[in-house]
Amino acid sequence: MFTTQSSPGSPIIRCGMIGFGMIFDDTYRPVFELRGAEPLYSPATGPVQVRLAAVASRTGVRGARYLTSGYGQRQPFTNYSGSDATRQLLASDIHVVCVATPDDRHFTAARDALIAQKHVLIEKPSVLSLAELDELSRLATANGVLAKVVYHKLADPDHKKLRTLYQDGVLQHVNNGYCSLLEPKSISGGQFAEWITGRNPATYVAVHYLKLIDFTFGPNWALSRISATGQRGLVGPADGPTWDSVQLQVVYLHPDAREAAFDIHTSWVTPNNFPGYVEQEVQFRFDNAVWCAHQRKRGVELTVENRTPGELKNTPNYHYNGTFLEPWGERSQRGYGIEVIERFFQEVANVEFGGPPDTRSERLAQMRALTYNDIMADRNCVAIVQSLEAILCRAVAGAPGCVVKVNTPPGGLVLYEPGNATPFILYEGRV
Ligand SMILES: NC(=O)c1ccc[n+]([C@@H]2O[C@H](COP(=O)([O-])OP(=O)(O)OC[C@H]3O[C@@H](n4cnc5c(N)ncnc54)[C@H](O)[C@@H]3O)[C@@H](O)[C@H]2O)c1
C-alpha cells in the first residue's frame, strides 16, 4: 500500500484532510508543518515523514488561502472542493484520511475512506449512532486499516495523572461527578452558523468528558442509563430543534452493583468576552477522595492592554496548544492537542513500517487494541450520543423527560417516554 518514498529508506505517509476548518488550523496544520520537515521517529520504524497531500472541503476557500499564505513549513497539496471533492480526494495518492467535517457528516466520509482502504482518523464525536459505528468497525476489519477517533483530553497531563491514580488504586471507586464545557456565542452565531440548525452543543463537546469518564474509570463497569434536558431560544426559536445549552446525565453500574452518576453541562451561548473563551471544569468524587480541576486556571493570569480577553486570553491553557520561543532558540507550536494527532501517525507508521510485511497484521491488531482512540472502543460514547440525540428529538416533538436504558431485555438502547407504556428501541444489539 505504501510505495511512495522521498528517498530510499525514508517512507512518507501521505494524508488527505476531509474538512478544512478551525480544528485543522489549530491542531493538524502544526503537525503537517513540523513533520514534513522533521520526520517522526521510533527505533522500530526509523524516520517517517508525514505529508498533507490533498484537501476536500465544501468551498475550497480556506485551502486556497492557506496555499498562498506565508506559513513557512506549508507543503503543497491538491485542494478539492464542491460536491465531488471527497471522491476525488479518495482517488488520489494518499494513505491516510483525517475527517474534520461537522459531526453529522463524519460517517459518510469515514465509510468511503475505509472502503478505499485508507487508515482513518475522525474528529470527535466519531459518529452519531451505533449502527454507523458497527459499519465503520466492520469496514476497518475487512480492509485491514485503522479507524481511530481524536480525544485529546486523554493526553492532557492532568487527565493522565487522574487515570494513573485511579488505575493504581490511590483514588478508589468513583461515585459521581460533574463536568462543564461552555463555548462562546461566536461559535453558535458565527463559526458554526451555516450548519447549526437542528444541532446541540452536547454532541459536539460533551463527548470530550464522556470519553474521559469512560476511559479513565472503565472498563470494569457497565453503562446503565442516559437522560438529558436543555434550553432553546437564543440560537434558534424556543420551540425549534436547535439547542443553546444541554444538561446530560449518565449513570454507570459498578460490578459491586453501586451506581456512579455524572452530570455534563454544555453550552455555546456564553458571552464572547468571557475571560478564557472556553470554560471547562470537572469534579469527581471517590470513596476516599475528591478531584477538582479547571482547564484554564492552571496558574497563569494575564492582562495586556487592548489585547485581552479577545486576541489573548486572561487565563490561557498553554498545555493544550501554544506557540513558543523555545529556550534553545527555535519557534515551536506544541501541546497535547497536537501530540494526540502525531500519536495517530506514529500508530500508522508502526503498522506500515514497524517490521516486516508478513507481520503487518500483528502490528495492526496491536494498534487496534489501543482503547484510548480505536473506534471499536467508542461504543459507550456513541451509545450516549445516540441516546442524547433521540431524547432531545423527543423533547422537540413535545415529549420532554425521556430516559434511555442500556442493555435491558427489550434491547441495547431503549427509550422510555413519560406517559407512554410502549418503549422505543434505538438499538437492538448489545451496546
Ligand atoms: N478536538 C477538538 O477539540 C475539536 C475542536 C473543534 C472541532 N472539533 C471537531 O472537528 C470537526 C470540525 O470542526 P471545525 O471546528 O473545524 O468546523 P468548521 O466549521 O470550522 O470546518 C468544517 C469543515 O468541513 C467542511 N465540510 C463541511 N461539509 C463537508 C462535506 N460534506 N464534505 C467535505 N467537507 C465538508 C467545511 O467546508 C469546512 O472546511 C467537528 O467534528 C468538531 O466536533 C474538534
Query: In CATH, what number is assigned to the domain containing residue 88?
Result: 3.40.50.720
For residue 295, is it within any domain?
yes
Report the C-alpha gap between 140 and 110 in whole angstroms.
Answer: 10
Check residue 300 and give its pLDDT.
Answer: 87
**210 and 119 belong to one structural domain:** no
184 compared with 298, residue with greater pLDDT: 184
100 close to ligand 1 (CB < 6 Angstrom)? yes
Residues 112 and 171 in one domain: no
In a domain, 184, yes or no: yes
Strand pairing partners for 416? 403
Ligand 1 centroid, distance to 309 Cα (angstroms): 25
Per-residue DSSP letter, 187: I
10 Å Cβ neighbour count for 251? 18
The three three-digit cell numbers of residue 94, written as one number: 494518499
Look at 73-82, 104-113, 219-228, 325-334 and tell me which has the smallest mean pLDDT. 73-82
> What is the predicted pLDDT for the residue at 29?
94
Considering the domain architecture, whether residues 170 and 203 belong to the same structural domain is answered as: yes
Is the C-beta atom of 126 inside 6 A of ligand 1? no
Q: How far is the CA of 327 from the centre of ligand 1 (A)?
A: 34
- 22 alpha carbon to ligand 1 midpoint, in Å? 7
pTM of the model: 0.94
pLDDT of 37 over the 90 cut: no
Atom of ligand 1 nearest to the CA of 192: 19
Q: State whether 41 and 14 are in the same domain.
A: yes
Q: What is the pLDDT of residues 88-116, one digit of tens each?
A: 999 999 999 999 999 889 999 999 999 99
Is 398 part of a structural domain of the chain? no
Domain check: are 336 and 199 in the same one? no
pLDDT tens-digit profile of 243-297? Answer: 999 999 999 999 999 999 999 999 999 998 887 778 899 999 999 999 999 988 8
Look up residue 149 and give its three cell numbers.
Answer: 477517533
| Cα(66)–Cα(68) distance, integer angstroms | 5
For β-strands 245-253 and 411-416, DSSP reports them as unpaired
Ligand 1 pocket, residue 21 CB under 6 Å: yes
Query: Lowest-confidence range among 86-100, 132-146, 299-313?
Result: 299-313
Same domain flag for 354 and 224: no
CATH number of the CATH domain containing 276: 3.30.360.10
* Same domain assignment for residues 289 and 303: yes
Asked whether residue 379 is assigned to any structural domain, the reply reads no
End residue of a domain, out of 253, 284, 319: 319
97 is a domain residue: yes
Q: Are residues 168 and 298 in the same domain?
A: yes
110 alpha carbon – ligand 1 mean position (Å): 13
- Which pLDDT belongs to residue 149? 98
Q: Are residues 120 and 217 in the same domain?
A: no
pLDDT at site 192: 78
Task: Tell me whether strands 96-99 and 174-184 are parallel, antiparallel or unpaired.
Answer: unpaired
Same domain, 115 and 210: no
Q: What is the grid cell recorded at 290?
A: 475528591
Do 217 and 308 share a domain, yes or no? yes
Render 111-147 in DSSP notation, one character per residue.
Answer: HHHHHTT-EEEEESS--SSHHHHHHHHHHHHHHT--E
* Pocket lining: 152 vs ligand 1, CB cutoff 6 Å: yes
155 lines ligand 1 (CB under 6 A): no
Answer whether 20 contacts ligand 1 (Cβ < 6 A): yes
Buried b / exposed e along 370-400 (16+ C-beta atoms within 10 A)? eeebbbbbbbbbbbbbbbbbbbbebbeeeee
Contacts of 196 (CB under 8 A, 6+ apart): 188, 235, 236, 242
Q: Amino acid letter at 129?
A: S
Answer whether 381 contacts ligand 1 (Cβ < 6 A): no
What pLDDT, on the 0 to 100 scale, is given for residue 4? 45
Residue 198 · residue 242 · CB < 8 Å: yes
Average pLDDT, the chain: 94
Q: What is the pLDDT at residue 9?
A: 61
Domain count, the chain: 2
Which atom of ligand 1 is least distant from the CA of 23?
A: 16
Parent domain of 71? 5-152+331-369
> In this predicted structure, what is the pLDDT of residue 6?
46
7 has pLDDT over 80: no
Q: Is residue 413 part of a domain?
A: no
Q: In this structure, is residue 384 part of a structural domain? A: no
Query: Is 302 contained in some domain?
Result: yes
pLDDT in tens, 204-235: 899 999 999 999 999 999 999 999 999 999 99
- Shared-domain flag, residues 224 and 285: yes
Q: Does the pLDDT of residue 66 top 70, yes or no?
A: yes
Residue 374 is given by DSSP the state B
Residue 337: pLDDT over 60: yes
Q: Is the CB of 368 under 6 A from ligand 1?
A: no
